[in-house]
Structures are given as C-alpha cells and as structure tokens.
Structure 1
Amino acid sequence: MSLRSRLLAMLSLSLIILWLTVAMLMYLHLGNKVSETLDQRLAASANMVAGLISQQPEPFSQVSREPLLMSPLSEGVACQIRSAAGEILMQTAGPRGASLSNAKPGFTTRTVAGEKWRLYTLEQDGLQITTADRVTERRQLENGIILVMVVPFSLALLGSLVVLWWGVRRGLEPLQKLFRELQLR
C-alpha cells in the first residue's frame, strides 16, 4: 500500500468516524428536542382551553348530547373536556366517544381506539382538559426533520472526502515527482 493510499485511508476513516459521532449526537439531541417541543405545544393548548373556559364557564355546566367542539384540520390532534364525574362535556373529532382523560394530570402515552396517543391532562375548576397528539404523526414529523438534517450532512461528508482526496493528491505531488525521478536514475 502506497503512502498516499495509507494517508487517504487513515484521514478518511478518521473523518467518517468524527462525522458519524457528531451526526449520532445531533440525532439524539434533535429527537429529544422535537418531543419536548410537541409536549410543550400540548400543554399550551390545554392551558389556552382552560383560559377560555374560565372566561365563559356557562356552556360547561351541563352535559350536551353531541359534545363536539369543532373538527381540527388534522385527525392526529384531539381535545376533550370532561366533568369531575367523568362525563365528556366537549371534544374535538379525534377518537370519538373514547375517553382521552387519565386519572392523573400531566403527560402520558396511551392506546386509544387502537392507536397510540400522547396526552396532556390539566385539571381546573372541576374539569379535566385533555389535549392529545397521535404518536404516529409525531414520529412522522420527527423523521421529516431528521431527513432534512441528514441529506445536507451526508452531502457535506461526501464533499469533505472529495476535498480530502484532492488535497492529499495535490499535496503529495512533489513526492510523487521525486519518486519518478529516482526511478529513472
């Protein structure tokens, strides 16, 4: 194996290991941040609904026969308002008729109507307000963000390897010329 080949192999391997380590750390950190951000969005939605209820509590004093709030643009999000007795007072068109609420306030992940949902439940003034995201849609969003990160990262790694190959080749050119001259002698 020539000096150039060994140098290229060592530098390329080092560069690949370094870039893959950085990519793995970014992947883990980004996945956690996306999940945190989506959880914060669930909590903010529940708090917003609680604020609206506190301003107009009359519609929530009795159970309605058709407790539909409104249909969200995405089937992967849902909101449900329940009384302290467990009756559904209002809900979005998520998993209809299924109880999203959990006994404890806070974040949980549950299977509702055969699908996994990430839930946030807030208790206020005798009401349980639950907001939810479908886990499959959360994963799709995370994967989309990671894909957007991976493509430029991969192109940069390939570009770095090409520049490394070119730089080593050009840098060792004087040694190659010297080698050829010594061979001719």
Structure 2
Amino acid sequence: MSYSLRGTLIRSLLKVVTPLWLVACALLAFHAWHEVNELYEEQQTLFARQLYGTLPTLGARNEPQLPQVGDSDHQAVAAWNRGGQLLLVDSDGLQLDARPGYTGFASLRQHDEDWRVYYLSGEAGSVAVAQEMSERWEMIGGLLLTQGLLWLLLLPFALLALWWAVGRGLAPLAHIRDQLQQRAPDDATPLPREVPSELHTLIDAMNDLIERMAQTLQRERRFTADAAHELRSPLAAMRVQAEVAQLVQDPLQRERALQQLMSGVDRSSHLLAQLLALSRVEAEQQQHEALDWPLLLQELGEAVPGLAASHHVTLRLPPAGHTQWPLQHGDRTLLLLMLRNLLDNAIRYGGGTVSLEADATRICVSDEGEGVAEALLDKVRERFYRPPGQQQTGSGLGLSIVERIAALHGLQLSLHNRNGGGLQAVLTRGHGG
C-alpha cells in the first residue's frame, strides 16, 4: 500500500495542531474573560467614585423632578442621598435597588439580561453603576474571532510551506534514484550521504545491500569462470577416453579406457563439489550454533577412513569424548568441511600416519609425507595451484576453502614442515576469535 509522505505529514500536522489551537483558544478565552472583567470593573469603580463626588451638588437641588442623564446603551447609573431618596437615574430600562451602606459588586438579571452592578456607599449617600454582561462577551468574542481568522489565514500558508519543505528535503532522493537506474548491477560505489540526517540509516542500509549484491555477482561470475576453466580439461579427457572405449576392440584397452573415464568423472565431481563449497563459504552463509564436537568427530570418522584406507594411510583422530577445542560455537557443516579438507590433503599428498589433534587453543593436522618446499608454502594456499610434479588428483581448492572457513570462525591457518618429515597445518585463534 503506497502513501504520500507529504499527505501523511499534513494530516499529522492537522491532527496535532487543531487540538492545540482549540486548547489555546480556551486558554485565551479564560484569560480574556479575567482581564476584561478586571478592566470593566475598574472602570465601574472609577466612575462610581466620580459620581459619588457629585452627591452634595445633587442633594442641594430643590427641583421636584429627578434629573435624567442621557441614556447610555448597556449601562445604567443611579444615586441616592443618605436618606435613600433617588437623586439621579440613567436606568436603560434597569431597575436598581438602593443598598444603603453596601459597597461592592452584585449581579442582577432583568429582562433576560445579566448585569454587573457596583455599589459605593458613604456619609453623603450611595451610588450604583451597572453594566450589561453582553458588552463583555462581545469583546471576548471579537478576540476569539480575530484569533480564528488569523488561524484560518495562516494555516494554508503553513501547509504550503510544509509541502515545499518536504519536497525540497526529498529532492536528493530523486538524484539517488537516477543514479540507481543508471549504475551497473556489479557497481559497488556507495550512494552519497548528502541527504537529510533522518535518511542516513536508509542510505547506509542501501550501500550495504549494494556492496553485498556486487560481491554476490562477482562470486557468481568467478564461480562460473572457474568452473568453465577447470572442467574444460577433465571433460575433454573424458571424451577422449569415451571415444577410445568406443573404438578399440581389445577388451583390456577398453577396460582401461573405461577406468580412466570413471576416474575423470570422479575428479570432475570432486572439483564441482569443491567449487560449490567454496561458493557457499564465500557467501558467508554460516550459522552460529553451539558445537557438539563428539558428534562432529563421529561424522568425520565415518567420512574419512575410506579415503585413508585406499591410500594405505594410518588415520589417528581424537577419542570420541574429546571436548578440548578452540571453538564452542560456529557452523558445524562448514567446520566439518574444513577438517575433511585438511585430512583429505594430508592423506592424498602426505601419507604415513595422518593425525588430527586439538586443544583449547589450536587444531593441528599433520602427516609424514615429504612436505612442501618452503618457497611454495604460501602459494599452495592459492586457488587451483598445484605444486609442480604433483601426481595425485585434486582441484587445488582445498586449502582455499579451509582458510576461508577458518577466517569466518576467527581462526588463522599456518603451514609448517615438520622436522621429522611431513607437513603440519595449524589453526589457531586470531584476534577476531
């Protein structure tokens, strides 16, 4: 399901900002109500004091009629002498009662209208100043209306600014998209990190994926090239032997050709198995698990003795209950392959007695053969390398596989010629083990 990042951000912004705006309006209304009441009541108090100062003048008049002050909308005033006689009135339809001796605010409701009245009393009499509450509500409503209009006017501009900012922030992704569309599958060049910091983890993950994909393609190409190169000669030899077996009439020659053909099939099968093993090892598809060394030794004891017997080699493995090994976790399948290759090399190219020994710090495989020339100890590790004059069949991949599996498990491979004759392959814990 696809969705728009811009749309999601705008919807999220509205969901967050709208409640905040409503809360802000409520707080503004509460504060405005307090301030407006304080302002108007202060005005009422001031007006009442001024009106109270006119009571001696009003009380000195002898006119029988009540003086009238021009009506003022939403306001009313009244004045009484100390005897309670009404001296002045501007009622605006409001009937104000005298409250001799009372000073303070009071609330009234007449004609479906709410009024706020301030009484001021003294020796000269008392006055009352009233104001309709709707006047205050109108002021508060005006403030809220201004706030709402400001929000409605600014919101579209804020959303447009957000839309533009998101588009600008995502613009580097378009450049990265163009790069990905134009690059070759095996190009491991990392993508640039000139993107918003929130996208750095995504770019890093993509760079890691690009590198792994390029390495996988390189491994596949190398495997294809190696297989084509190394299988070409055995296949050609097998074809020759097949033609010989088909053409010769002598049963002994035919039998010899068929044996050579079977030997070529075995060599090709072994080479292909080694290539596949190397491909898997290079892909680092190991699984780390607790190792059951007695079980691994049992499997090793079932796989190797046949080869040792065919080469008239004495094989010595640790006892079944031996538990002293430098590794307690790793990939059992890969480690079994590593030990089989070491023993296979020792049996094929060494001879005499082949021993596998192990303790908490190292694994050692040794033989009693002729060893390897000192100048060639490093070259025998290379792929497909076979020492000059080597008569035994092989692929030249065994030690490459051993070294790669060892590296995956934090082990280092070293080769040494023994003083008494033969080669010794030692695996020890490296710094990463």
TM-score class normalised by the smaller sequence: 0.7 to 0.9
Q: Number of aligned pairs? A: 180
Where does 1:20-31 land on structure 2 (aligned, <5 Å)? 20-31=22-33
- In structure 1, give the amino acid aligned to 2:104: G
Q: Which residue of 2 aligns with 1:165?
A: 163
SS of 1:69 mapped into structure 2:
coil
Q: Displacement of 1:35 after TM fit?
A: 1.9
Distance 2:174 2:7 in 1: 13
Q: Shift in Å at residue 106 of structure 1?
A: 1.0
Cα distance in 2 for partners of 1:101, 1:153 equals 47
Structure 1 residue 100: deviation in Å? 4.4
Find the counterpart in structure 2 of residue 116 from structure 1: 114
- For residues 44-59 of structure 1, the aligned pairs below 5 Å read 44-53=46-55, 57-59=56-58
**Matched ranges for 1:1-185 at <5 A:** 1-53=3-55, 57-60=56-59, 65-72=64-71, 74-95=72-93, 98-102=95-99, 104-179=102-177, 182=180
Percent identity between the aligned chains? Answer: 26
Q: Deviations over 1:148-170 (max 9, x none)?
A: 33322332233222222221222
User: Any conservation in 1 of the 2:82–2:123 contact (CA below 8 Å)?
Assistant: no
**Residues 45, 2 of structure 1: alpha-carbon distance in 2 compared, 3 angstrom cutoff:** same
Q: Is the 8 A contact 1:68 1:91 kept in 2?
A: yes
How big is each residue's C-alpha offset from its partner over 1:55-110, in whole Å with a ceiling of 9 and x where there is no partner? xx1431578543233114x32111100234433211124226x2244463211210
Equivalents in 1 of 2:145, 2:4: separation in Å? 38
Q: Give the distance between the partners of 1:114 and 1:12, measured in 2 at CA.
A: 40
Taking a change above 3 Å as real, the CA distance of residues 64 and 105 of structure 1, as seen in their structure-2 partners, is farther
How big is the shift at 1:124?
1.9
Structure 1: state its 5+ residue gaps: none
Relative contact order, CA 8 A, sep 6+: which one is greater?
1
For the aligned residues, what is the CA RMSD? 2.9
Distance 2:42 2:68 in 1: 22
Matching residue's letter, 1:127: G
State which structure, 1 or 2, has the greater radius of gyration over its C-alpha atoms: 2
* Inter-partner Cα distance in structure 2 for 1:128 and 1:63: 19
Runs of 4+ displaced beyond 6 Å: none
